[in-house]
Structure 1
Amino acid sequence: MNVLVTGGAGYIGGTVCRLLLAQGHTVTIFDSLCHSRREALPAGATFVEGDLADRALLEKTFSNGPFDGVMHFAALIEAGDSMKKPEVYFRNNTAGTLSLLEAMLATGHDKIVFSSTAACYGEPESAPIFEDARLKPTNPYGESKLLVEYMLQWMNSQRGLRYASLRYFNVAGAIEGYGEAHEPESHLIPLILDVALGKRASIKIFGQDYPTKDGTCIRDYIHVQDLADAHLLALDALSTTEKIICNIGNGQGFTVLEVIESVKRVTGKPIAVELCDRRAGDPAVLVASSDKIKAELGWKPRFAELDAIIASAWKWHQIHNA
Structure 2
Amino acid sequence: MREPSILVTGGAGYIGSHVVKELLERTDRTVTIIDNLSTGTRERIAALETIAPQPGRIDFIEADLADFARIESIFRAHRFDALIHFAASIVVPESVQNPLKYYMNNTVNTTNLIRLANEYGVGRMIFSSTAAVYGEPEEVPVKETTKTAPINPYGMSKLMSERIIRDAAAANDRFRYAILRYFNVAGADMNGAEALEAIDPRIGQSFPDATHLIKIAAETALGKRPKMAIFGDDFKTPDGTGIRDYIHVDDLADAHLAALEYLQRGGASDIFNVGYGHGYSVREVIDVMKRVSGVDFVVEQAPRRAGDPAVLVSDNEKIRRTVGWEPRYDDLAKICKSALEWERKLP
TM-score range for the pair, normalised by the shorter chain length:
over 0.9
Aligned position for 2:85? 72
Task: Report the AA paired with residue 177 of structure 2.
Answer: Y
Aligned position for 2:34? 30
Retained in 2: the 8 A contact 1:123–1:285? no
- CA gap 1:274/1:144 in 2 versus in 1, 3 angstroms: farther
For residues 172 and 300 of structure 2, the distance between their equivalents in structure 1, rounded to whole angstroms, comes to 51
Equivalent positions of 1:127-166 (< 5 A) are 127-160=140-173, 161-166=175-180
- 1:124 to 2:137 alignment: yes
Aligned position for 2:72? 59
- RMSD after superposition: 1.7
Q: Give 2:43's match in structure 1, choosing from 39, 63, 73.
A: 39
Moved more, 268-277 or 251-260: 268-277
Query: Once the 2 structures are TM-superposed, how far is the Cα of residue 224 of structure 1 from its aligned partner?
Result: 0.9
Give a deviation string over 1:212-237, Cα, whole Å, max 9, x none: 33333221011111111110111122
- CA gap 1:82/1:206 in 2 versus in 1, 3 angstroms: farther
Q: Give 1:2's match in structure 2, choosing from 2, 5, 29.
A: 5
Retained in 2: the 8 A contact 1:73–1:114? yes
Task: Report the AA paired with residue 251 of structure 2.
Answer: D
For residues 69 and 87 of structure 2, the distance between their equivalents in structure 1, rounded to whole angstroms, comes to 17
Aligned position for 1:270? 296
Identical pairs, percent: 47
Give a deviation string over 1:155-202, Cα, whole Å, max 9, x none: 111133211000110111111311111145542211110111111112
Query: Once the 2 structures are TM-superposed, how far is the Cα of residue 25 of structure 1 from its aligned partner?
Result: 1.4
Query: Once the 2 structures are TM-superposed, how far is the Cα of residue 119 of structure 1 from its aligned partner?
Result: 0.9
With normalisation by structure 1, the TM-score equals 0.94
Query: Once the 2 structures are TM-superposed, how far is the Cα of residue 19 of structure 1 from its aligned partner?
Result: 1.2
For residues 208 and 40 of structure 2, the distance between their equivalents in structure 1, rounded to whole angstroms, comes to 6
Q: Give 1:251's match in structure 2, choosing from 277, 280, 285.
A: 277
Q: Give 1:311's match in structure 2, choosing from 337, 340, 345.
A: 337
Query: Once the 2 structures are TM-superposed, how far is the Cα of residue 79 of structure 1 from its aligned partner?
Result: 1.9
- CA gap 1:108/1:179 in 2 versus in 1, 3 angstroms: same
Task: Report the AA paired with residue 186 of structure 2.
Answer: A
Retained in 2: the 8 A contact 1:80–1:281? no
Task: Report the AA paired with residue 162 of structure 2.
Answer: E
Give a deviation string over 1:258-310, Cα, whole Å, max 9, x none: 21111011111122224444434433321001111111111111111211211
Moved more, 210-219 or 22-31: 210-219
Retained in 2: the 8 A contact 1:19–1:228? yes
Retained in 2: the 8 A contact 1:124–1:285? no
Retained in 2: the 8 A contact 1:80–1:279? no
Moved more, 112-121 or 79-88: 79-88
For residues 34 and 115 of structure 1, the distance between their equivalents in structure 2, rounded to whole angstroms, comes to 17
Give a deviation string over 1:59-79, Cα, whole Å, max 9, x none: 111123211201011111122
Query: Once the 2 structures are TM-superposed, how far is the Cα of residue 103 of structure 1 from its aligned partner?
Result: 1.8
Aligned position for 1:192? 217
Give a deviation string over 1:69-108, Cα, whole Å, max 9, x none: 0101111112232222222211211112112112212222
Retained in 1: the 8 A contact 2:206–2:346? no
Retained in 2: the 8 A contact 1:207–1:277? yes
Aligned position for 2:16? 13
Aligned position for 1:284? 310
Unaligned runs of 5+ in 1: none
Retained in 1: the 8 A contact 2:23–2:29? yes
Retained in 2: the 8 A contact 1:5–1:30? yes
Query: Once the 2 structures are TM-superposed, how far is the Cα of residue 12 of structure 1 from its aligned partner?
Result: 0.6
Task: Report the AA paired with residue 162 of structure 1.
Answer: R
Retained in 2: the 8 A contact 1:128–1:251? yes
Q: Give 1:220's match in structure 2, choosing from 237, 242, 245.
A: 245
Task: Report the AA paired with residue 332 of structure 2.
Answer: L
For residues 318 and 285 of structure 2, the distance between their equivalents in structure 1, rounded to whole angstroms, comes to 26
- 1:231 to 2:256 alignment: yes
Retained in 1: the 8 A contact 2:244–2:280? yes
Aligned position for 1:172? 186
